[in-house]
Structure 1
């Protein structure tokens, strides 16, 4: 029987599953998209198991089941919960690792509670690379259930400079997703600030991409030392493989978003 299960095997779900496996825990993976399961099956070994149906997935897990739902936020999460409920037992633990609105997480927490299912809404930060090598995790919901999944979450999480895992129980109901929302909003604000600084340096000060890269790198040595300033310096100096230009000169001035920044402003 597998110790952990993940629903949703796109890049984030797949990488989290590999992270779990790489840290010594057994994991089952399932997706309603069969090609995703087929791709996941290429990594199959004694600790990583692909499954092709809801029942096969649930039956493959030891009890109490610990299942991470890593899919798009909104209606797909509710549909997944309805598919799972008839197959689960009281005491099983569900984690939602997507960018769900904390109001939805509050509702799902109480809906699952009525069925005896423990629910944890968990912010996951670090993107695709973090999912594989160590994300920052922000779980909130049922604290007793968190204690049961903590050994796995602490093992797969990023580690700080002192070696402590970047995961901590945030609080009740949707507090984990609330913190992730605020985290994203702050990040987007900093990115907007950097883009305005870039615009001024380029259009007003007449700085080249390499000069701007050096400025951001210098700032990263002081009080504003952070991942965002570090990667901004790297992006600005990156040369294009196909032209003599810098990559930044070929990037469109548009960006997509998942809604968390707007939610924070409401």
Structure 2
């Protein structure tokens, strides 16, 4: 029995919420530009479908996934865009069906994975709960781009705790991917849940360096869906302050981020 059932349930809820946002869109609205340069609403959904299929391949045919990962390694700057572009040209109904079929198949496979299973991925192998959390993070983040394109304000939920946890755990990666030494000490991170108002706390209570603020804002920051200047996050300590400038929860090269609402960074 999988040890990822709680996060898988949250992943399904997150996917269904985004599905409701796009299911009744006109053909023209699928072509609306999103905040990601060059990506329309269709590109966002196509990317999710493409990544779900890659995760399904990793879970069911590791050798075949290894071949796909090799192709990605050979074109690190373009393979994500190419995957999104391939799906974005489909008619909206076909794209929506592809996304639904792929995410349902992945959910089923992950829910049946034995506890302790580790799956190959584009970086280190991932435990099943981590894979499910990563899929939730991407679904929420790309869903935010879709919502922004449509002018829709989404209600934040406590499903964001999974995104926040990934962002905290990816601290050292954010430094390393930029060729920087990671801080030698742990930070204390205290975030306010958008649903219950409880505190999500990470790291030692007596840490000298700290990050505090709304959980939603932290998730927007680490998924690079908003600029730090537009968020109510506070850092105490020089390394914590530097982290908020470069934080990213996703694998791959450093993201360009989003400009502040007042203009270019």
- Determine if the TM-score, normalized by the shorter chain, exceeds 0.5: no
- Output the TM-score relative to the length of structure 2: 0.27
Q: Which has the larger radius of gyration?
A: 1
Higher RCO (C-alpha under 8 Å, 6+ residues apart): 2
- Output the TM-score relative to the length of structure 1: 0.27
